[in-house]
Structure 1
Amino acid sequence: MLQESRAFSGIAVKDIDEAREFYGTALGLRVEDGQMGMLVLRLGGDRPVLLYPKPDHVPATYTVLNFPVRDVEAAVAALTDQGVVFEKYEGTQVATDEHGVFRGGGPLIAWFTDPSGNVLSVVEGDGLG
């Protein structure tokens, strides 16, 4: 039953207009108006991700959405040009370089946050292994 379902993810944001601007303009994603004041991101293959307003939103401390890319360094450069700020981690298992790219094993990955503090990433390859 569920294996045939068209499952989708939902991410809470504190301000829906801020989210529309960030996801649509800075990230260049297709953003549509959804029901009840929500937004729908249309990702590759037309997979939806629901963004819903939650005024008392507290961001998760983990990555909520990963964007697989062919070239992390190119993606970081392009997104930086759009005003996206990449996280810089030092002295941890996920220490990043000066551009925010983790090179400590596995696929190259760089983390950033949306205006609500939700952690997102660009990850080289399919990101699954």
Structure 2
Amino acid sequence: MPLSEFSVRASIAVSDIGRAVDFYEGKLGLPLAHSGPSANITDGSRVYRSGGDVALNVFQSATAGKSEATMATWYVDDLDSIVDELTQAGVGLVRYDQLEHDARGITERAGGGRIAWFQDPDGNTFAIESDR
């Protein structure tokens, strides 16, 4: 049975689950699917829904924020509206010196479309992309 027959979700390590809840639920507005333990931390893990399905597992760990790579990407229809909502919620966009960004922090995506990046409180990087 190939893995392509099963759902997949991103797992994100955070240093403080309480601070992560404020960010992922409060600022990003992700709905909680369920919570549970993470290693020996009671209620140290949260699973969030996005796009109608379970999509993101956030768990407390000493390895939080160690990767500089983009951890997950949301593909959206209206990038401008999403950027506005995130900015109004207090989420800052990441700007990379080697790329040209517009005044709001959005850049042209290789191959067409546009993209913007943001980080959680631990420095985990996420992207928002749109074909327009």
TM-score range, shorter chain: 0.7 to 0.9
Structure 1 gaps of 5+ residues are none
Aligned twin of 2:49: 42
In structure 2, the partner of 1:20 is 21
In structure 2, what is the equivalent of residue 124 of structure 1?
A: 130
Partner of 2:7: 6
Cα distance between partner residues in 2 of 1:58 and 1:114: 9
Q: CA deviation at 1:38?
A: 0.5
Contact 1:88–1:99 under 8 Å retained in 2: no
Residues 45/104 of structure 1: CA separation in 2 closer, same or farther (3 Å cut) = closer
Q: Percent identity?
A: 33
d(CA) in 2 for partners of 1:79, 1:7: 25
TM-score, normalized by length of structure 2? 0.83
2:117 paired with 1:111: yes
Post-superposition, which runs of at least 4 consecutive aligned residues in structure 1 deviate over 4 A? none
TM superposition score normalised by structure 1: 0.84
Please, which of 87, 92, 98 is the counterpart of residue 85 of structure 1?
92
Equivalent-residue separation in structure 1 for 2:85 and 2:50 (angstroms): 18
Q: Is the 8 A contact 1:89 1:100 kept in 2?
A: no
Decide which structure has greater strand share.
2
Matched, 1:96 2:101: yes
**CA positional deviation for 1:56:** 4.3
Cα shift at 1:19: 0.9
Bigger CA drift: 115-124 or 31-40?
31-40
Partner Cα separation in structure 2 for residue 29 and residue 98 of structure 1: 26
